[in-house]
Amino acid sequence: MPEHTARPDTPANPHPADPAPRPVDWVTVEDPPEGRWSTWTSVTRLSRGPEPRPSWVVTADAAVDTELGVLKSGKEAVCHLLRRAVPSDPDRDSLLVAKRYLDASHRDFQRSTVYTEGRRTRNSRDARALARRSSHGRAVAAGQWAQAEWDTLVRLWQAGVSVPYPVQVDGTEILMEYIAVDGEAAPRLADCRGTREELRGWYDQVVDAMERMASLGLAHGDLSPYNLLLAGSRVVVIDLPQVVDVTVNPNGMELLHRDCRNVGDWFARRGLDVDAEDLFGRLVAALW
């Protein structure tokens, strides 16, 4: 029986029959003058960011997404700037980063296996395509990296780690909070100079983020001052597709150690009295 056929009201059917169809008021929906209708309503609940949602997240049906251009193109993804706003309502206006994973000439597959050991694949066709590195395999990989980064962003946000708020995921695209200073993209820590006091404040925040991750059993896996943004005095951790579970991945400890060296050495070179090996010891202790 087709799903929407009216059912008789019989004792065998406890649900009342569908009410008589009412006349429908047709509304003509035109394309917005610029951009596309917000994709918020087209993604499933699990593809939307965790609650409680920050008040700036625009969820209205009438919202429009407008591309503002490329923020930065990387090896594995291109970050675009996107405006999601309700044209008639200046209070509902947000800037987002759309990180779109590339499906061809993606991250070096050889290197990827360091991070993906132990990761499960949806089905055996996908697993074979990944192994063969076919074009379907590359498309699967791009979606998997986006999903992996999404899952991590959600988990870390909920654990109180300083990461951009994850707004939604849709295939190979993640929309997230735009980390900005006066409307401009926040600089990477690698490009910042600070007094000793400022450096100490930044270092403490990085260690706090690493410790919170370690207490979940996680290491960033590609942490360096290039994947840390500085928004005023707040340090934000980004670029999380390769986060590894140290307790499962056989390369986990090595990756955690490398993260500690990248961070510890950078701060030590700038004159801060910190030691990468001490940091590693502290994080290993936080794992268990």
Ligand X SMILES: Nc1ncnc2c1ncn2[C@@H]1O[C@H](COP(=O)(O)OP(=O)(O)OP(=O)(O)O)[C@@H](O)[C@H]1O
The stretch near Mg ion (CB under 5 A) out of 18-26, 91-99, 187-195, 238-246 is: 238-246
Told to check if 235 binds ligand X by CB under 6 A, we report no
Told to check if 74 binds ligand X by CB under 6 A, we report yes
CA angle 135, 139, 144 (to 5 degrees): 140
Among 49, 137, 143, 164, the residue binding ligand X under the rule CB under 6 A is: 164
Told to check if 177 binds Mg ion by CB under 5 A, we report no
In angstroms, the CA 187 to CA 226 distance is 9
If binding means CB under 6 A, how many residues of this protein chain bind ligand X? 21
Work out the number of other CB atoms within 10 angstroms of the CB of residue 27: 5
In angstroms, the CA 245 to CA 62 distance is 40
Told to check if 79 binds ligand X by CB under 6 A, we report yes
Work out the number of other CB atoms within 10 angstroms of the CB of residue 194: 15
Which structure tokens are listed for 31?
Answer: 């394309």
In angstroms, the CA 256 to CA 243 distance is 10
Taking the C-alpha atoms of 3, 4, 10 and 13 in order, what is their torsion angle to the nearest 10 degrees?
A: 40
The stretch near ligand X (CB under 6 A) out of 32-40, 71-79, 151-159, 275-283 is: 71-79
Report the nearest approach of ligand X to the CB of residue 19 (Å): 47
The closest alpha carbon to 96, from 167, 37, 155, belongs to 167
Where do the DSSP E strands lie in 115-156? none
Told to check if 154 binds ligand X by CB under 6 A, we report no
Among 149, 173, 239, 259, the residue binding Mg ion under the rule CB under 5 A is: 239
Told to check if 76 binds Mg ion by CB under 5 A, we report no
Binding mask 178-217 for Mg ion (x = CB under 5 A): ----------------------------------------
Give the binding site for ligand X (CB under 6 A). Answer: 71-72, 74-77, 79, 97, 99, 164, 176-179, 185-186, 188, 227, 229, 238-239
